[in-house]
């Protein structure tokens, strides 16, 4: 008979009230095999797994296109083909190119910046539910998975940014000192993406229909983010509250921030800085806390 069971049996034999298993375990210094660590301890665990996160993200990137004929070239072709379709629909058929200077650069910037967030959120929502066998077999901080998926999308963005810069130069936009702020813009967006990915990872782990609904949600988000049009110019007749909501949209803020640097050659306005920093900090704090709260529940059931 095990020690806790024998202790309960001794208490019952002596005529005393049986001690609960939880109280008995606490008295003997025992704890659950899978328990949520404190937040500082959890952060330390993630830091010690940083090499795993990077390696896992890189291996997923390499294997993603391993069976296709063009291989890693698809990381560049996918956003380019998407931008070509959107340019045909919105720039040519709907005539947006008549109202916006250098519409190809305007469009490709919006598409690539939004795609970075869109892909990170969608992949993050699947990061836990798609790796249940790994979660059940090994003990590691579960936040490693959505973090690895976010890093994977950042690695793919590096290819897209190379193409974006080349297209900007082809359209004869000059190189300015503002380009030095591109890493700042991407860092703020990456922080937001991590927070959103962590939040959606928990939702996707417990709400089974998330992966079916998310493409429709992100498509609506796409149309509300000023990817194909200028929010400032095309929403002039809308109520002030609705205009404010569109401009406060995090995806729209990161897109406009990048366009200011690459196309308009102007330092981003104060509202752009405030919006981008706010969403980055808010998403990271809320997303990380929300994911961590369910740490011991992932992979069960």
What are the tens digits of pLDDT across the range 175-202? Answer: 899 999 999 999 999 999 999 999 999 9
Model pLDDT, residue 94: 64
Whether residue 5 is predicted with pLDDT greater than 70 in this model: the reply is: no
Mean pLDDT on 6-23 = 55
Separation between Cα atoms, residue 166 and residue 145, nearest integer Å: 33
Instruction: Give me the pLDDT at residue 78, please.
Output: 78
Q: Is the pLDDT of residue 247 over 80?
A: yes
User: What are the tens digits of pLDDT across the range 72-102?
Assistant: 677 777 777 877 887 787 767 766 666 778 8
The burial of 93, by beta-carbon neighbours within 10 Å (0-12 exposed, 13-18 middle, 19 or more buried), is given as exposed
pLDDT in tens, 152-164: 999 988 888 888 8
Q: Is the dihedral of CA 251, 253, 256, 261 positive or negative?
A: negative
Query: Half-sphere exposure of 169 toward its Cβ, with a 13 Å CA cutoff?
Result: 9
Contact 192, 284 (CB under 8 A): yes
Kindly report the number of other CB atoms within 10 A of residue 9's CB atom: 12
**How far is it, in rounded angstroms, from Cα 246 to Cα 49?**
38
**Alpha-helical runs (H) found in 68-181:** 74-86, 103-126, 132-137, 144-170
**What pLDDT digit, counting tens, does each position of 49-70 carry?**
999 999 999 988 888 776 776 6
- Provide the pLDDT for residue 33: 52
Q: Is the pLDDT of residue 15 over 60?
A: no
Which residues have CB under 8 Å from 42's CB, separation 6+?
Answer: 36, 141, 143, 292, 295
pLDDT at 1 over 80: no
Side-chain-side CA neighbours of 120 within 13 Å: the count stands at 28
Helices 240-247 and 250-262 pack at an angle, to 10 degrees, of: 70
Q: Are 83 and 160 in contact (CB under 8 A)?
A: no
Class of residue 224 by CB neighbours under 10 A (exposed 0-12, middle 13-18, buried 19+): middle
The whole-angstrom separation of Cα 190 and Cα 153 is 9
Does 213 score more than 70 pLDDT?
Answer: yes
Radius of gyration of the chain (CA): 24
Q: What percent of the chain clears pLDDT 70, i.e. is strictly above it?
A: 82
d(CA 299, CA 79) in angstroms, rounded, equals 34
**What is the pLDDT, as a whole number, of residue 29?**
57
Task: Please list, in sequence order, all residues whose beta carbon lies within 8 angstroms of the beta carbon of residue 27, skipping any fewer than 6 positions away.
Answer: 19
The whole-model pTM stands at 0.84
Q: Would the pLDDT of 25 be above 70?
A: no
Closest CA to 121 of 57, 190, 55: 190
**Residue 114, pLDDT above cutoff 50:** yes
Q: Greater confidence, 14 or 89?
A: 89
**155 compared with 235, residue with greater pLDDT:** 155
**Whole-number average pLDDT of the chain:** 84
Burial environment of residue 241 by CB neighbours within 10 A (0 to 12, 13 to 18, 19 or more)? exposed
- Specify the residue for token string 């366009």: 259
Distance CA 224, CA 220 (A): 6
């Amino acid at each position: 008979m095990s020690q806790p069971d024998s202790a309960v049996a001794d208490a019952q034999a002596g005529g005393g009230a049986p001690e609960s298993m939880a109280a008995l375990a606490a008295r003997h210094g025992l704890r659950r095999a899978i328990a949520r660590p404190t937040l500082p301890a959890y952060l330390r665990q993630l830091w010690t797994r940083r090499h795993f996160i990077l390696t896992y993200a890189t291996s997923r990137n390499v294997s993603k296109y391993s069976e296709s004929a063009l291989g890693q070239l698809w990381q560049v072709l996918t956003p380019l083909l998407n931008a070509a379709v959107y340019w045909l629909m919105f720039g040519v058929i709907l005539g947006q190119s008549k109202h916006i200077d250098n519409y190809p650069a305007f469009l490709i910037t919006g598409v690539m910046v939004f795609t970075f967030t869109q892909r990170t959120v969608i992949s993050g929502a699947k990061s836990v539910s798609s790796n249940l066998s790994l979660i059940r077999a090994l003990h590691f901080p579960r936040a490693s998975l959505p973090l690895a998926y976010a890093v994977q999308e950042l690695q793919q963005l590096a290819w897209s940014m190379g193409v974006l810069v080349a297209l900007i130069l082809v359209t004869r936009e000059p190189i300015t000192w503002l380009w030095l702020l591109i890493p700042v813009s991407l860092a703020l967006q990456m922080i937001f993406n991590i927070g959103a990915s962590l939040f959606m990872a928990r939702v996707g782990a417990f709400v089974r229909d998330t992966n079916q609904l998310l493409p429709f949600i992100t498509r609506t988000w796409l149309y509300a983010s000023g990817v194909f049009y200028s929010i400032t110019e095309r929403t002039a007749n809308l109520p002030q509250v609705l205009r404010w909501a569109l401009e406060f949209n995090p995806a729209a803020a990161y897109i406009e921030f990048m366009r200011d640097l690459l196309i308009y050659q102007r330092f981003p306005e104060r509202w752009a800085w405030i919006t981008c920093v706010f969403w980055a900090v808010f998403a990271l704090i809320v997303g990380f806390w929300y994911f961590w709260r369910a740490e011991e529940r992932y992979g069960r059931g």
